[in-house]
Amino acid sequence: MAAYGLSEREAGSDAAAMRTRATADGDDWILNGAKCWISNGGKATWYTVMAVTDPDKGANGISAFAVHADDEGFTVGAKERKMGLRGSPTTELYFENCRIPGDRIIGEPGTGFKNALTTLEHTRPTIGAQAVGIAQGALDAAIAYTKERKQFKKSISDFQGVQFMLADMAMKIEAARLMVYTAAARAERGEPALGFLASASKCFASDVAMEVTTDAVQLFGGYGYTVDFPVERYMRDAKITQIYEGTNQIQRMVMARSLLT
Ligand SMILES: Cc1cc2nc3c(=O)[nH]c(=O)nc-3n(C[C@H](O)[C@H](O)[C@H](O)COP(=O)(O)OP(=O)(O)OC[C@H]3O[C@@H](n4cnc5c(N)ncnc54)[C@H](O)[C@@H]3O)c2cc1C
């Protein structure tokens, strides 16, 4: 398993403001600092860690390193207690004079942040895919439930108010799915200028997932608000897709920037 360490407590959306340092010592690198919110923390064998190698160069002074779980000076914090996504452990990572061999730098010094941004163009559609999956699960559950649940001596799916909600949910999911597929296909083909669509697919699909899962809870009525049915979990899990891999405000900034340059 692998993990990816970019974010820090004080450097989330503004990831380039990170403070974790890597200094050269002979043939080795020595890492000091901490990373925050790292998925697979404690489970991964290898961690890609971003650290400042040249503080005078801002984003161009950040490099990427491969840290092994057994490296001396590397430790993992306690698991965060989260609203959702509880199947995926999230922890802090600590580096205290963590010495790693010189060849564990990924690429040239100073290219880490640029590579991280390029990586996001490929990984953001995968968050969109996660969002589409959660939304589809919620829709499937809502269709089955509304057919079965009876009020006023009818299935609630016979009511036009419910039908229109289901139709809207399915329509939005389909649009999100197509956008995610297009973004993923373009990324796979290695096409240039992927930024707009990578952000749009992640942002649109995660906003759809939040809307659809909230509507699914609504369609389950009071039962939707209990842990006895799956839709409350879908709603909690949908929320993270609007936050990580860059919040949806950041995605909108990326989209606007690509429109205006
Ligand atoms: C469960 C989970 C797993 C994660 N996994 C990883 C991981 O594996 N690796 C990793 O490196 N990181 C990971 N993250 C970190 C995640 O990417 C960050 O939480 C996210 O980028 C936001 O940073 P922040 O939490 O510091 O929020 P902040 O940056 O403090 O943002 C707070 C609010 O301010 C808004 N905001 C900030 N700047 C602007 C702006 N310029 N304009 C408009 N609004 C703005 C944000 O959109 C947000 O609404 C994970 C986070 C979570 C919760």
Ligand 1, atom 29, residue with closest C-alpha: 13
What pLDDT does 37 receive? 98
CB 77 within 8 A of CB 41: yes
Question: pTM, whole model, 2 decimals?
Answer: 0.96
- Which atom in ligand 1 lies closest to the alpha carbon of residue 243? 20
In the block, residue with structure tokens 């961690």: 47
- The CA distance from 235 to 82, in Å, is 13
In 53-68, which positions are buried (b, 16+ CB within 10 angstroms) versus exposed (e)?
Answer: beeeeebbbbbbbbbe
Give per-residue pLDDT as tens, 139-178. 999 999 999 999 999 999 999 999 999 999 999 999 999 9
Percent of the chain with pLDDT over 90: 98
- Which atom in ligand 1 lies closest to the alpha carbon of residue 88? 1
In the block, residue with structure tokens 């790693």: 100
Mutate to test the pocket of ligand 1, among 37, 120, 254 (most ligand atoms within 8 A of CB): 37
What pLDDT does 250 receive? 98
Active site residue 121: no
Helix (H) or strand (E) run with residue 39 in it = strand 28-39
Q: 96: which residues sit within 8 A by CB, 6+ positions away?
A: 32, 73, 75
- Which atom in ligand 1 lies closest to the alpha carbon of residue 11? 26
* Mean pLDDT, residues 101-127 taken together: 95
Q: Which residue type, as a one-letter code, is found at position 71?
A: D
Write the CA distances from 54 to 19, 93, 110, 115, 169, integer angstroms: 11, 21, 7, 16, 49
* Mean pLDDT, residues 229-245 taken together: 98
| Arithmetic mean of pLDDT over the chain | 97
* Mean pLDDT, residues 188-201 taken together: 94
Ligand 1, atom 31, residue with closest C-alpha: 13
